[in-house]
């Protein structure tokens, strides 16, 4: 499905927001190349996975981390260029973590003229009540956050919840499932929630974490740390991150090769009879003849 180009009337409502957000961006060749690469890879994911249905509304989850800031600014950039025919609503879910800087995101979004909704839900108290001290909160916290974001998407008339997961997130999830879950699965770029009424989209699926980190630094986003609750992601995911970094250092380009492999599946060369009907394999002529007694 190709990207839809729009006329100036559609882009006019985001010109001010986009211009403001990029007004103080570096005017260097290096930054322009980085910006164009992120735009190109995001467009590729939107096209490859049929994310775009013109005229719909997307809820863009904004946590205050580098990835979600990058997601929002890249989508606004595409929209400003007339290449993304959807309305965008940024949404931050304030989950009640201690010392969460409540003014940072509303100030940032208002300053740049970005339509947004700030929602307060004290999921932090729920998580700390159910998870023992010293254990990671991230899994339960994520599930609770996702449920509220689905609800907000419905309330705001949004067809899709858009998340900032990038290439490394997908690869780490793949190896977590491979090593610890006994299955071949990763984060899909596009999926439908269990209720069947909201899509989950990951337009940064082809973008590297390193590029997004450089982009966030150059754009000087007001980053909110992800450790306000005192819990970090589990050691297993950290181990996958370190393993992938080591592989990339030893053999540059392997991450790109691995992400391409996830889009080039040969079910007949794996071991899952549910994915490939091995019983239907017939030799030419031989299996069609009756077997002698």
Q: In the chain, what are the domain boundaries?
A: 8-234
pLDDT surpassing 70 at residue 28: yes
Long-range (24+ apart) CB contacts under 8 A made by 191-198 are 193/150, 193/161, 195/150, 197/154, 198/150, 198/153, 198/154, 198/158, 198/159, 198/160, 198/161
What is the mean pLDDT of the segment spanning 52-59?
96
What is the mean pLDDT of the segment spanning 199-227?
94
Write the DSSP string, the chain: -PPPP--HHHHHHHHHHHHHHHTTS--SHHHHHHHHHHHHHHHHHHHHTT---TT-EEEEE--SSHHHHHHHHHHHHHHHTT---SEEEEEEEE---TT--TTHHHHHHHHTT--EEEEE--HHHHHHHHS-TTS--HHHHHHHHHHHHHHHHHHTT-SEEE----HHHHHHHHHHIIIIISS-----SEEE-TTSS-EEE-TTTTS-HHHHHHHHHHHT--PPPTTTTS----HHHHHHHHHHHHHHHHSTTHHHHHHHHTTS--GGGSS-TTTS-GGG---TTGGGSPPP-
CB atoms within 10 A of CB 188: 15
pLDDT of residue 62: 94
* Residue 18, C-beta contacts closer than 8 angstroms, at least 6 positions apart: 76, 77, 79, 80
pLDDT surpassing 80 at residue 9: no
**What is the C-alpha separation between 108 and 100, in angstroms, rounded?**
15
**What is the C-alpha separation between 241 and 180, in angstroms, rounded?**
15
| Residue 90 φ then ψ, to 5° | -80, 145
pTM: 0.85
pLDDT surpassing 50 at residue 4: no
DSSP state of 264: S
Homologous superfamily (CATH) of 8-234 is HUPs (3.40.50.620)
pLDDT band at 237; cut points 50, 70, 90: confident
pLDDT band at 278; cut points 50, 70, 90: very high
pLDDT band at 144; cut points 50, 70, 90: confident
pLDDT of residue 102: 86
What is the mean pLDDT of the segment spanning 187-201?
96
**Among 1-5, 224-228, 260-264, the range of highest mean pLDDT:** 260-264
pLDDT surpassing 70 at residue 1: no
Which is more confidently placed, 14 or 280? 280
**Among 22-36, 95-109, 114-128, the range of highest mean pLDDT:** 22-36
| Least confident interval from 71-75, 158-162, 236-240 | 236-240
């Amino acid at each position: 499905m190709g990207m839809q180009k729009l006329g100036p009337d559609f882009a006019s409502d985001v010109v001010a927001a986009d211009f403001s957000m990029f007004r103080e961006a570096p005017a260097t060749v290096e930054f322009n190349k980085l910006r164009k690469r992120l735009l190109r890879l995001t467009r590729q994911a939107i096209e490859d996975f049929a994310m775009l249905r013109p005229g719909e509304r997307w809820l863009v989850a904004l946590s205050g981390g580098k990835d979600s800031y990058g997601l929002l600014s890249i989508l606004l950039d595409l929209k400003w260029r007339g290449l993304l025919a959807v309305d965008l609503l940024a949404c931050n879910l304030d989950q009640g973590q201690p010392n969460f800087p409540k003014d940072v995101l509303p100030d940032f979004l208002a300053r740049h003229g970005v339509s947004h909704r700030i929602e307060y839900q004290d999921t932090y108290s729920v998580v700390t009540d159910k998870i023992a001290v010293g254990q990671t909160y991230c899994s339960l916290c994520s599930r609770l956050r996702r449920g509220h974001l689905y609800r907000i998407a419905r309330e705001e008339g949004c067809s899709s919840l858009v998340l900032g997961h990038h290439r490394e997130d997908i690869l780490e999830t793949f190896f977590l499932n491979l090593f610890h879950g006994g299955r071949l699965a990763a984060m899909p770029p596009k999926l439908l929630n269990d209720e069947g009424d909201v899509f989950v989209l990951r337009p940064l699926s082809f973008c590297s974490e390193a590029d997004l980190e450089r982009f966030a630094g150059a754009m000087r986003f007001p980053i909110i740390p992800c450790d306000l609750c005192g819990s970090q992601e589990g050691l297993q995911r950290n181990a996958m991150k370190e393993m992938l970094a080591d592989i990339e250092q030893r053999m540059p380009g392997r991450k790109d090769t691995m992400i391409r492999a996830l889009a080039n599946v040969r079910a007949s060369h794996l071991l899952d009879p549910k994915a490939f009907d091995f019983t239907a394999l017939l030799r030419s002529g031989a299996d069609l003849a009756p077997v002698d007694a």
